[in-house]
Chains A and B, each alone.
Chain A
Amino acid sequence: MQLNRYLAICLCAAVAVAFAVADDSSSSSESNKDGNSKWYCDATDLCLPEEEVLTSAVRAQKQFESQRDCRLSCGKYGSIWPMPTGNCSLSHDRVHFDPWKVRFNVVAPSPVTTQFLRETNRLFVSNLLKECTRNCTFSGSKEVLVKATVTDSSLLLDWTTDESYMMVVRTTDTASFVDIKAPTVYGARHAFETLSNLVTGSLGNGLLLVSGARITDAPAYPHRGLLLDSARNFVPLRYIRSTLDAMAASKLNVLHWHVVDTHSFPLEITRVPEMQRYGAYSTAQTYSRADAVNLVKYARLRGIRILVEIDGPSHAGNGWQWGPAAGLGNMSVCLNQSPWRNFCVQPPCGQLNPLNDHMYAVLKEILEDVAELGAPEETIHMGGDEVYLQCWNHTEEITNEMRTLGYDLSEASFLRLWSRFHQRNVEAWDNINRHMYPKISDPKPVILWSSRLTDPQHIEQLLPKERFIIQTWVGAQDSLNRDLLHRGYRLLISTKDAWYLDHGFWGNTKYYNWRKVYDNPLPLASLSGPQGRQVLGGEVCMWSEYVDQNSLEPRIWPRAGAAAERLWSNPKSAAYLAQRRFYRYRERLIARGIHPDAVIPHWCVLHEGQCL
């Protein structure tokens, strides 16, 4: 009996041990096999494993435990994306630490900024945790003390916000110290983003941090944007939030939300509920007021403005159908007409009726809602592209009215009518802002797309340059940018043959890979006009005709990241020199839960310099 008892105990113990062993082996199989070899950073800034490297060509005799470890400091900018524009020196030594041992010290002049930075710290830690290759907890960790100092007490975020920062990392025997100094909280948050680029997962537990660094950095352009169209195909909130996450990781700072179009009107306008009711694809495919407000907050915490676009007079149709039934007349004309080719450039058709006062009243209510939604300093994008004059010209209601008002039916008068439309809306916008935000004295400029209205020949008669910022969407070779700059207009650049991310899947358009996106220099301002900076920045555009949540992320990322470096750093060097940092940036996006496109065989990422 005694024997039996022992036998049973042994059996149970054996079972337990067997499972424990099985557990161990399964977790160790996940570790990368390059754990066996040492890595070196060679003279041409390649990270190579021991067996491939020529010892004479090694830059520093420093050995790294993995390729990612090596990447942290190999090359002037290590794996920082986008690359800093000021000083950047990185040590080859590492601190092995536990993300839970990071302590924060925030020095900010006001409660709101303190609060903001605390949130930033939280987001920073959660991003660090995603870098852990194995267990984050590491018992032998030194303390990492991060001190962030901010001087400006406001949370204002617009084209004048100073997003620069300075960061020093140093390590002593007892602890590591990170010292961040920035004028604004937004600069500080970018610094934290950079700091997360100085960290990678260790092969064992915990994380590795570059032990010493000195970085000063400031963006080249104040407007670094991504346009997201949620009208052609609806984009669920979850996916907009993950887009914002990825933008934050790339230091992009404007989400241009093309929220409505002819196809659908998903945004809730509390003052005019009919818009959404008539225009949304379905009750589930909508953004409520609360959704939008929360989204603006979510973006803010990541240093991102949300710039809402209410496109008009063209690209507006569904959502506007209820005019006649409500006794407001036709607010939109040519609506869903077919054959569409006679009435618009893309089905379904629809264009606002510029001679219907009720339309202006409704539009003003929409603008009021938008003004309420955003930050006080935030402006609006009024669209204004691709007006199909034939639509108005074919609508009797409009041509009759024009004749009575003394217009002839020449192209010039249609253009005048069109520009009147924008002027009226800008007046309404100013009016709203005066009432809503009386503290802001200067009227805010609004943004329009380039169009026939912005033709350099007559733009100065139609659109005053003090009030309108033009977002151009012409090819890189087009002279429009130069002409408008010459006339003193401020511009946002969305180069059609490089930064249109939807191209390559329809018609004769071509796909622009990340190199093409990267190697797209923005035009230089020919003269420094009275407003100072004339090229405010640019935007990559994700039109959603052929994209919905299923393919949105891979279509945008990592290419938008290439534009992010163009806009933040405006590098003189070509994409070729950025590739290894770029591949690392892409992996970081994956770690953060984004699904970016693959850009090169995995083998080429692992074997640097072998796939030229």
Chain B
Amino acid sequence: MAHATMKSIAILLADMQYKLQSNIHRRPLGQAHLGLRYLYKMSLAVSLRRALLVLLSGAVFILTVLYWNQGVIKTQAYSDSQLRPHNHKDRNHLSIPVEKSWTYKCENDRCVRTPYRKNASNTKRVSFTSCSMTCGDINIWPHPTTKSLISAHTLRFSVEDVQLQLDTPHREVSKLLKIAFDWFVRDLRQIQRLDYATHTPEAAAATFVSEATSRQRRHNNEAPAPETQPAASLFGSTFGLQRAGDLESLQVKLSVHESGEIDFNLDNNESYHLSTTFEHQRLVVHIAAHTFFGARHGLSTLQQLIWYDDEDRLLHTYASSLINDVPKFRYRGLMLDTSRHFFSVEAIKRTIAAMGLTKLNRFHWHITDAQSFPYVSRHYPELAEHGAYSESETYSDQDVREVVEFARIYGVQVLLELDAPAHAGNGWDWGPKRGLGELAMCINQQPWSFYCGEPPCGQLNPKNNHTYLILQRLYEEFLQLSGPTDIFHLGGDEVNLDCWAQYFNDTDLRGLWCDFMLQSNARLKLANGNVPPKYVAVWSSALTNTKCLPNSQFVVQIWGGSTWQENYDLLDNGYNVIFSHVDAWYLDCGFGSWRATGEAACSPYRTWQNVYKHRPWERMRLDKKRRKQVLGGEACMWTEQVDENQLDNRLWPRAAALAERLWSDPNDDHDFDVVQPDVFRRISLFRNRLVELGIKAEALFPKYCAQNPGECI
């Protein structure tokens, strides 16, 4: 679009030049507008050169502005593309509709729904969200760990009243916090604007009254609210014409003093302290943290301490709140496989934004696999040329960098995984043509079940030095794109020894596998400026059951069953671990087998309760030392049966259930499949928040149960 405009402007300019020239000795341009005539005169009077100079500088200016705007549009695209419902045709398609027919009362820490008639009673209607936020324990997700106090008194304000006060000596931190705050305000604006754009409450109330009173009139009453009305209120709110609420300003004061670090490592201090002062109609929310990351999480919390009330159409928050919060686990991950199916950068960003709101902090990007190689390497573009599904289904290094920078604002680290030596095939077949020998073997070999776990097969060549060279270059690129890190994922799972056995007559093929891992680890060190990353992660496998990989550096991501012996063995062998148990945290399971033959890999579906209730460290009764070896956990989204059409609802709200498990790890010694009513209450509201922001999170239960907390349990 921007290109097209620029092109046409450029052509127009060229055209104007031409006309100016050809008409110079004829009559003035009749149809050209005044500016042009002026230019023409000027060119006669002074000189053509000056006119051209003016024109040219004008063109440059316009192009600059257009180019600049293009960038702005791009960063906001994730929310702008689909989050804002501007369709006036359907008044009932709103993600979060206005619910004027009910009012809520807080009874025994539960919100009770009762019908509300505007004219029948003089009491003010209490919206569900307002009730839910002020009834019972603090309603944020994940639950704060150390301390949380909120006042019963709430204040009303508009998004225009929110201001930032930065208190940090670190330039980089202040830069990031500024952007984070801008995005925070943008979200608030979106929440508040939802109604302005489509369905004004007055109009709703009006139709409602007429529905109640007259039957005949209703038939003619099909016209939706006139378009001018929302436009007017938008205008009004933008220019502060209808200042309402209790606040002159809401100042968000972000303090980060101790550390200026903005690079991720597992020792990042993510704690924060949130407190408020309220004086002279000014509410100051003070978020103090040791690092940018803590402040970032504080902002996510604050976002959840603010809600939109559809009764007075204002944002609400508590008059005073006090929260001390620090995560229980430092690695809180979500993995997405972009090889079985391709996912657009927009979809990935949307996912990361939701992760930020729920305080997950590691986006594990399983960017390649045997099926496809969508990453366009700077050094080896052949990989994507031969391995991507199509030219458009690729990630350029610019795309990856964009995701990394986007994620940083949300306090999420992007970990790029290039799985090897197995799970690599398509994209690696051009070696012989370039005289580099076979880089991989068994590519797409049949019958696949002999040579790999799922079609198509493919495994890197462990005896070709070029393979390692390419890996080293790719690692280098990954590290450059994702920034300095103390953890790197090498993949390393599900090697099929029969594949290699066709080519090598080594007696110890597992040794070959081990050598491969150690060799690629050595390459990783070279790629990282000769400094080995403190942690190197691999998937659990037959190899991790041997002691081939040094436990000082290697972290094992355990994806087997939670009751398997390997869990104990790996901890006993001194490895640090990340739990991704297939029986609890595999979000792709439950959709049957995708092949015509064979059973479903890992049915059934893991409900959000399954995800939430899983506490392997408790069930395994780990002692203090072994608990320390648990870095955290990660939910996995393999994408054999998922593409962009249903990514959101496959991930959310289940990944949020994991987030609370890893951030707060609430005590919970009840039956395996019973979740406390309070958890239902909070996750239900959190799901609403996701939907509000345009994440298509799945429904937890019938809406009746959301409107009547506690009744369906």
Contacts and interface: CB of A to CB of B under 8 A. Distances in A.
Does A associate with B in a complex?
Answer: yes
Contact of A284 (B97, B212, B218, B446): B97
B226 interface: no
B642 interface: yes
A270 B215 CA distance: 7
A32 B390 CA distance: 6
Given A8-B56, A603-B340, A597 B98 contact: no
A318 B699 CA distance: 20
Contacts of A284: 91-92, 94, 97-99, 199, 204
A12 B14 contact: yes
Given A282-B97, A511-B603, A545 B641 contact: no
A219 interface: no
B31 interface: no
B455 interface: yes
Contacts of A405: none
Interface in A562-608: 575-576, 579, 590, 595-604, 606-607
B224 to A, nearest CB: 11
Interface in B601-654: 603-605, 607, 639-643, 645-646, 648-649
A238 B702 contact: no
Contact of A12 (B13, B342, B390, B697): B13
A20 B698 contact: no
Interface stretch (B70-78, B409-417, B549-557, B587-595): B587-595
Contacts of B14: 9, 12-13, 16
A347 B640 contact: no
Contacts of B55: 8
Contacts of A289: 219
A490 B597 CA distance: 36
B349 to A, nearest CB: 18
Contacts of A603: 340, 371-372, 389, 426, 455-456
B204 A283 contact: yes
A232 B704 contact: yes
B641 A283 contact: no
A510 B48 contact: no
A11 interface: yes
A598 B646 contact: yes
Given A16-B10, A284-B92, A600-B640, A579 B596 contact: yes
Given A277-B211, A598-B642, A604 B391 contact: no
Interface stretch (B1-9, B267-275, B277-285, B484-492): B1-9
Interface residues of B, number: 98
A233 B204 CA distance: 21
A251 B62 CA distance: 52
A336 B704 CA distance: 10
Nearest to A32: B390
Contacts of B597: 612
Contacts of A16: 7, 10-11, 14
A340 interface: yes
A9 B10 CA distance: 11
Given A233-B703, A283-B101, A610-B455, A516 B371 contact: no
B436 interface: no
B390 A576 contact: no
B377 interface: no
B90 A544 contact: no
Given A12-B59, A29-B392, A237-B93, A22 B593 contact: no
Interface string B1-43: 0011011001101100110010000000000000000000000
A479 interface: no
Nearest to A17: B10
Interface residues of A, number: 90
B699 A598 contact: no
B391 A33 contact: yes
Contacts of A15: 10, 59, 63
Contacts of B702: 232-233, 263, 544-545
A278 B212 CA distance: 11
Interface stretch (B154-162, B661-669, B678-686, B705-713): B705-713
A403 interface: no
Nearest to B598: A612
Contacts of A597: 591, 641-642, 645-646
B580 to A, nearest CB: 20
B704 A515 contact: no
Interface string A8-36: 11011101100110110010011111000
A138 B7 CA distance: 24
A288 B215 CA distance: 12
A606 B642 CA distance: 16
A264 B704 contact: yes
A1 B596 contact: no
Nearest to A52: B444
Contacts of B99: 281-284
A316 B431 CA distance: 68
Contacts, number: 265
Contacts of B92: 234, 236-237, 284-287
A5 B49 contact: yes
A282 B482 CA distance: 46
A601 B339 CA distance: 9
A9 B7 contact: no
A5 B98 contact: no
B340 A601 contact: yes
A410 interface: no
B392 A236 contact: no
Contacts of A606: 389
B522 interface: no
Contacts of B607: 505-506
A263 B701 CA distance: 11
B581 interface: no
Given A9-B14, A236-B93, A554-B649, A504 B456 contact: no
Nearest to B641: A598
A452 to B, nearest CB: 24
A383 interface: no
A316 B699 CA distance: 22
Given A511-B590, A576-B596, A232 B698 contact: no
Contacts of A19: 3, 6-7, 10
Contact of A602 (B90, B341, B591, B700): B341
B52 interface: yes
A315 to B, nearest CB: 12
Contacts of B87: 238
Interface in A504-537: 504-506, 510-513, 515-516
Contacts of A549: 93, 95
B283 to A, nearest CB: 31
Contact of A516 (B49, B115, B592, B595): B592
A546 B101 contact: no
Interface centre among B11, B18, B707 (most CB of A within 10 A): B11
B596 A575 contact: yes
Given A234-B703, A283-B207, A551-B698, A596 B448 contact: no
Contacts of A576: 596
B208 interface: yes
Nearest to A31: B391
A601 B640 contact: yes
Contact of A601 (B21, B594, B600): B594
A55 B566 CA distance: 50
User: Which of A23, A280, A544, A545 has the largest count of B CB atoms less than 10 A from its CB?
Assistant: A545
A326 interface: no
Nearest to A19: B7
12 contacts: A12-B56, A19-B10, A23-B7, A284-B199, A290-B219, A505-B590, A505-B605, A546-B699, A598-B640, A610-B455, A611-B595, A612-B455
Given A277-B212, A282-B100, 16 more contacts: A12-B56, A15-B59, A16-B7, A16-B11, A23-B3, A282-B101, A284-B97, A284-B199, A504-B590, A516-B592, A551-B696, A554-B646, A602-B371, A602-B372, A607-B444, A611-B448
Which 5 interchain pairs have the tightest Cβ spacing? Answer: A513-B592, A284-B97, A236-B93, A282-B99, A554-B646
